[in-house]
Amino acid sequence: MASVKEMDTYAKLWMKEAGSKLRASFETKLNIEIKTNPNDLVTNMDKAIETFFCDKITETFPEHRIFGEEGMGNEIKDLKGTVWILDPIDGTLNFIHQQRNFAISLGIYEDGIGKIGMIYDVVNDELYHVIKGEGAFMNDQRLSPLKEVSVSKAILSMNASWVTENRRIDPSLLAPLVRDARGTRSYGSAALELAYVAAGRLDAYITMRLMPWDFAGGVLLVEEVGGEVSNITDKKLDFLEGDSLFVSKPGLHKEVFEKYLTGNTSL
């Protein structure tokens, strides 16, 4: 079995190499395709980065499996053995429209247990990195343990869609939370929003629907610095089908469940 250190060294190297490819792509014309609807897009670079990781992982660790958004890896029905959970570009719409506010997201799991998390903000050259139990870092800077905060002093990250009519939650449920929080933000990349919670730039991130590759790396970062992680009904996350997600600084999690989410029938 490959050691965690060995996987970490390669993963970091490949992250940086993939980042260079993405930066270089800004000078080229993107090939953009529609997936499930006109706002769900994929580019040649999403596919190229996933293929790059799949080739490297298969070559170096032939027994490992890959669970990636664009389907270049394996069909994953369980998390047995070592699984690399990869989002080649998280924030594809930002990548296309803004050439910033996107990241490569990676979580490495052994028999379902998270070992390594990496989120690379390519444009700012910020690599968020955790080896479970050994601390979380942004580049070489160790991230501090998160401190308790109340809703009234919290900056909360959330897509505006969850307080307008949508298929997943009664919009009136989260409106009071938005009103009571000190401020709300939305970055359009779940991976970056998780990294920002870990780095203390945001106090919480809440969303009704994500896939495992969106959160596999980020939740490990948040947990390592003492943040709290659950789905929107305060249960463990589903790493196969995807889930809702609520991550926050300590204390805030409890306050939000007690005051805003508990007993609501729309959940």
Binding residues (CB under 6 A) for ligand IPD: these are 69, 87, 90-92, 159, 188-190, 210, 214
Shortest Å, Cβ 142 to ligand IPD: 26
**Is 169 annotated in some ligand binding site?**
no
Burial zone of 236 (CB within 10 Å; 0-12 exposed, 13-18 middle, 19+ buried)? exposed
Distance CA 159, CA 30 (A): 26
Which amino acid is present at 163?
Answer: V
Q: Where are the beta strands (DSSP E) in 69-197?
A: 82-90, 103-110, 113-121, 126-131, 136-138, 141-142, 155-157, 183-185
Distance CA 100, CA 246 (A): 24
Shortest Å, Cβ 88 to Ca ion: 6
Distance CA 146, CA 170 (A): 30
**Is 89 annotated in some ligand binding site?**
yes
With CB cut-offs between 5 and 8 Å by kind, which of ligand IPD, Ca ion, none does residue 210 bind?
ligand IPD
With CB cut-offs between 5 and 8 Å by kind, which of Ca ion, ligand IPD, none does residue 184 bind?
none
Distance CA 181, CA 174 (A): 11
By beta-carbon proximity to Ca ion, the closer residue of 243 and 255 is 243
**H-assigned helices in the chain:** 4-25, 44-60, 92-97, 171-180, 190-199, 212-215, 218-224, 252-256
The string over 191-223, giving b where at least 16 C-beta atoms fall within 10 Å of a residue's C-beta and e elsewhere, is: bbbbbbbbbbebbbbbbbbbbbbbbbbbbbbbb
User: What residues make contact with Ca ion under the rule CB under 5 A?
Assistant: 69, 87, 89-90, 92, 214
By beta-carbon proximity to ligand IPD, the closer residue of 145 and 188 is 188
**Is 258 annotated in some ligand binding site?**
no
Shortest Å, Cβ 255 to ligand IPD: 24
- In this structure, the chain runs to a length of 267
With CB cut-offs between 5 and 8 Å by kind, which of ligand IPD, Ca ion, none does residue 217 bind?
none
Shortest Å, Cβ 1 to ligand IPD: 30
Specify the DSSP class assigned to residue 144: P
Shortest Å, Cβ 147 to ligand IPD: 26
With CB cut-offs between 5 and 8 Å by kind, which of Ca ion, ligand IPD, none does residue 110 bind?
none
With CB cut-offs between 5 and 8 Å by kind, which of ligand IPD, Ca ion, none does residue 188 bind?
ligand IPD
With CB cut-offs between 5 and 8 Å by kind, which of Ca ion, ligand IPD, none does residue 189 bind?
ligand IPD
By beta-carbon proximity to Ca ion, the closer residue of 83 and 89 is 89
Shortest Å, Cβ 167 to ligand IPD: 13
| Feature table: binding site for Mg(2+) | 69, 87, 89-90, 214
Residue positions in the annotated binding site? Answer: 69, 87, 89-90, 214
